[in-house]
Chains A and B, each alone.
Chain A
Amino acid sequence: MSTKDETARTLAEAHFRLDQGITRIFRIIEADESNGSRPVKLLEVNPMTTEVGISPVGMTADHARGVFHSVVVVEITPDEFERLQRGELKLPADWKLGEELFPHESVTGMAS
């Protein structure tokens, strides 16, 4: 069974590969982040998305298909990301921006 960290890295890798509009991906963490029943949360910066502010979408876990954690994604534009960093936009609840996840070299190579 994958850990939340492994799931987050796998998802980020796949999202960089699937959508070459994505420029940056960050973990979103909460106070109870070590709780495995809480979702893996990613913030994705993508100039291709529409600007509606912070609007998370989620998908449930599916143990039968080897997906052990529910997933939440917040997709925002680079401009919205700057506003988030300036504090003009807020993440919901006690969510905080966590570590940045980077694409594997092969993904970077594909995108170039």
Chain B
Amino acid sequence: MNWTQAFARQAASDLAARHVLAAEGTLPSCHALHFLQMGCEKLCKASMISAGRDPIEVQRSHASIAKHLPTIVRVYMSREAGRLPRDNWMVDAIRPLARKIELLSPAVRGGGRSPENCEYPWVAPDGSITAPADHPFEFSILFEKAGVALLKIIHQAAIDLQR
């Protein structure tokens, strides 16, 4: 197994964990969102390493989901059976969706405007301290435009990058 395959393997596992957690109705939504964010970040890192980046450097850095995920989706869609897809609305929809997923990470704070994240507690604008487990995230990938398509594509991309 090389570094690309290893990152893709872990991305696929994170996404599988997201699926299990999302189906478990008794758990707070932050857990499924956390694995979605981590799976997307590892998929981006697998793709960056596949393109020739130093795996150690990539491992230490923060991968920009907002930048790389739309590109991965576009590459993936364009190569499907060599057809020329006409669903350009999907790429348009995935760009803001990728930004929403990126903002779930505590390392990305949206210029200070988005302290909410799915991993660590934060101080709200009114001074109160909030745990992700208690936060009603107004974000469900399955109800976002192109969300289901994105899930299918990133899952398949994580499998393909393991080859």
Contacts and interface: CB of A to CB of B under 8 A. Distances in A.
Interface of A: 2, 10-11, 13-15, 17-21, 39, 44, 48-50, 52, 55-60, 62, 65-67, 70-73, 75, 92-93
Given A52-B64, A55-B67, A66 B82 contact: yes
A13 B91 CA distance: 15
Nearest to B67: A50
Contact of A57 (B44, B66, B87): B44
Given A48-B95, A57-B68, A62-B163, A71 B80 contact: no
Contacts of A75: 67, 71
A47 B110 CA distance: 19
B50 A60 contact: yes
Contacts of B67: 49-50, 52, 55, 75
Given A15-B74, A48-B95, A92-B52, A59 B84 contact: no
Nearest to A111: B88
B120 interface: no
B85 A14 contact: yes
B86 A73 contact: no
Chain B interface residue number, banded: 35 or more
B160 A13 contact: no
A60 B86 CA distance: 23
Contacts of B84: 10, 13-14, 17
A107 B109 CA distance: 37
B62 to A, nearest CB: 10
Given A14-B84, A72-B52, A57 B79 contact: no
Given A49-B67, A58-B52, 8 more contacts: A10-B78, A11-B75, A15-B74, A15-B75, A19-B70, A59-B72, A60-B163, A66-B81
B97 interface: no
A75 B77 CA distance: 16
